[in-house]
Structure 1
């Protein structure tokens, strides 16, 4: 049975292709949504870009028929712009002021009441990324859902890049003897992914263990190639940090993603690996470090000064880590060092569109605040002989339209886990301090 989906504005602004994502069902766009889309189309950010895309698509759909009567979609569905708000009074009785959200709910309620009078009523579903809109819809007796099309696996099922297996000690002995194992020897029900890490432990309870990495073709388990020597003064403190350094220092893996809670060392070890590759080994011409300009809490507004002075507050976490790595003692020492080196560039992601970036070690910090489109834009900028590392904590998202399952970083991890040119590790143990670890766990 075909369903009727009423779309909230935030769904279209989050994914401008969403109007085509409901198979052969009927998609309703309330007229008030057009007003909200129009108010966003002049913005210079991704929200504005999506608003302009939706506007162009609706204009293109006009050539197929009258939108208020409904036009056919390529997937067999129907798209309709709804002008009818007859259910105003009932919604107003429940929620008072007739806000834009309540007008969208009124459209959904009107369809629900009409369908309830039919012999074979069709389900009416309001789709919104706004939790309170879904709650209000439930109060009115209407089915409400989040937009799920672009969501990845739940946090508990997301790819971590490593797993622990308990095996017979003879399997561990065989690995140390021949320095490799066939994936088939482990007898796993599911398959292992390229560049995934495996910790083997003795099922009999002894301390015998081994740390292995799946080959890029996914057929063999091999020892780690990188030693555990300090990298710019940084030594891995746990198994996941060792895995991360293995990926960061491997020039055959141009895409690396690291996730984990605050204090797990993502940014510090990545900067250390980047400095080693650029300054010591000269594998890359430049170290480019960038992060999205998304404030936590209330925005502080415009900042005075030149571009570098404006960016400094946003990039301060990067500078803090660089000061630790360069062991600077006085204020201003780091700026002198960076000016002298000339090969380290700290940038805002605002300026990366349109660039081609060859021969560079690129670090994108706080990537959980990027949308899928923004991640695509960034990764597609990477030129020949470059390596890109994206870092972030999917539990700390400041973007209004993203969550742990729909952000660009999580999406990238899930889409590239089968590729031999990429690697991922979720860092689990906090190393910043006992207080930071407890805060990440308890708060």
Structure 2
């Protein structure tokens, strides 16, 4: 059955191509949405760019006819700008506010009331309000309107998310064969899902003994090979569990230019990435510079309201990075880490605001808190990576500060899912907290 989708402003500001994501159904843009988009078009951040993109798309469609009458879409659907607010009085009676959200609700409600007045035997399309605002969807439910989140940018549910490793229980002879020949063919093991390049495999004895092995699937997905790196300290940091060992393997592998790490607070993501980056830049001289960045949430937010020069403004946002650097350099006094970084010259701590538009060759790039990035922002950042660079994106998909992102629609989860079959990338989900027993309990219980 055909459907009519009424779009909230935040859907178009989140994904300007959303008008093409509803197949052969009717897509309605309330007139007030155009006003809200117009108010955002001068912004210099992601919202402003998306607002301008939507404006250009609608202007191009306007040449095909009148938007208020409906413009056919290439996928068989119909796009229409709706001016009708006749149901607004009913919405105002319930919520008592002439807000833009309520005007959007009124448009959807009017469509639904028109369908109810139509003949009973008519083929009536279902009316669905699409919004990334939770409270708008709740209001819609109060009005008996069907509402949903924008689903086209969501990946697999968190329960099915790719972790970067699997645990297999095998006959002990299989483990012995691996230690004898130092490799196994993927066909020898019964892996339910299709083996992914650079995915890790933990072999355990199905007989219940302590015999085990940690392997990695080759980039071509055909063989299981031993980890090439020993468990020696990396800038004084030693892996404390299997997942941290996997993470260091990916971080120190020169043939894997894209690494993603996810996990709760305290699992060691930032510390491991910084230690690996320092080894590659300072000890092995594989890269010219170590670039560390994290979003000033929301990304693109002007930090001019903070006092001082650029470095002083960035310091509150970058403090978690400095905390880890102070641990790695074992500094004793406040301010020592700034002197060390200034003297070295090869370590740069930046806000993502200043990375946009750059080309970054020959650098080890660490992007922290990547779960607060949208799909487009992650694409923009990764597309900045130049020849000979390695980029590490990390974060906790369950700890998101962005108002319209969640664990299945954020940029980090998106890039993990899209690159899991590519031989140039690797991913690990770290699960065990190593910061302290208290931190682990807090992450699990609170």
Verify same fold: TM over 0.5.
yes
How many angstroms apart in 2 are the aligned matches of 1:70 and 1:213? 54
Q: CA deviation at 1:137?
A: 1.3
Distance in 2, matches of 1:442 and 1:295, equals 28
Distance in structure 2 (CA, Å) of the matches to 1:120 and 1:25: 13
Aligned to 2:318: 315
Q: Secondary structure at the match of 1:251?
A: coil
RMSD value over aligned CA atoms? Answer: 1.4
Following TM superposition, by how much is the alpha carbon of 1:89 offset from its aligned partner in structure 2, in angstroms?
Answer: 2.1
Q: 1:184 aligns with which of 184, 187, 190?
A: 187
**CA–CA distance in 2 between the matches of 1:295 and 1:78?**
34
| Other-structure match for 1:30 | 30
Name the residue aligned to 2:236. Answer: 233
Which ranges of structure 2 fall in alignment gaps of 5 or more residues? none
Shift of 1:189: 3.0
Per the alignment, residue 14 of structure 2 pairs with 14
SS at match of 1:253: coil
- 2:147 corresponds to which residue? 144
- Aligned residue number for residue 127 of structure 2: 124
Q: CA deviation at 1:86?
A: 1.1
Residue equivalent to 2:408: 405
Q: CA shift at 1:3, angstroms?
A: 0.9
**1:58 — aligned with what?**
58
Residues in 2 aligned to 1:191 and 1:171: alpha-carbon distance in whole angstroms: 20
Instruction: Name the residue aligned to 1:367.
Output: 370
2:303–2:313 Cα contact (<8 Å) kept? no
> Does the residue aligned with 2:63 lie in a helix, a strand or coil?
helix
More displaced 10-residue stretch of structure 1: 305-314 or 240-249: 305-314
Q: Does 1:84 align with 2:119?
A: no
Partner residue of 1:266 out of 257, 265, 269: 269
Please state how far the C-alpha of 1:48 moved relative to its aligned partner.
1.1
- After the TM superposition, list the runs of 4 or more consecutive aligned residues in structure 1 that deviate by more than 4 angstroms: 298-301
Give TM-score scaled by structure 1 length.
0.98
- Secondary structure at 2:16's aligned position in 1? coil
Deviations 1:123-177 (A, max 9, x none): 0100011112111212222211110001011111110001111111111111111
1:253 aligns with 2:281: no
1:266-286 deviation line (CA, Å, top 9, x unaligned)? 000110000000000001110
> In the TM superposition, what is the alpha-carbon distance from 1:190 to its structure 2 partner?
2.0
Equivalent in the alignment of 1:44: 44
1:156: which partner in 2? Answer: 159
Q: 1:196 aligns with which of 189, 195, 199?
A: 199
Please state how far the C-alpha of 1:300 moved relative to its aligned partner.
9.1
The Cα offsets for residues 168-196 of structure 1, whole Å up to 9 and x where unpaired, read as: 11111111111111111112232110000
Gaps of 5+ in 1: none
Counterpart position of 2:387: 384
Q: CA deviation at 1:301?
A: 7.4
Give the TM-score of the pair, scaled to structure 2. Answer: 0.97
Q: State how far apart, in whole Å, the 1-side matches of 2:192 and 2:37 are.
A: 48
Question: Deviation at 1:295?
Answer: 6.4
Structure 2 CA distance for aligned equivalents of residues 352 and 303 of structure 1: 20
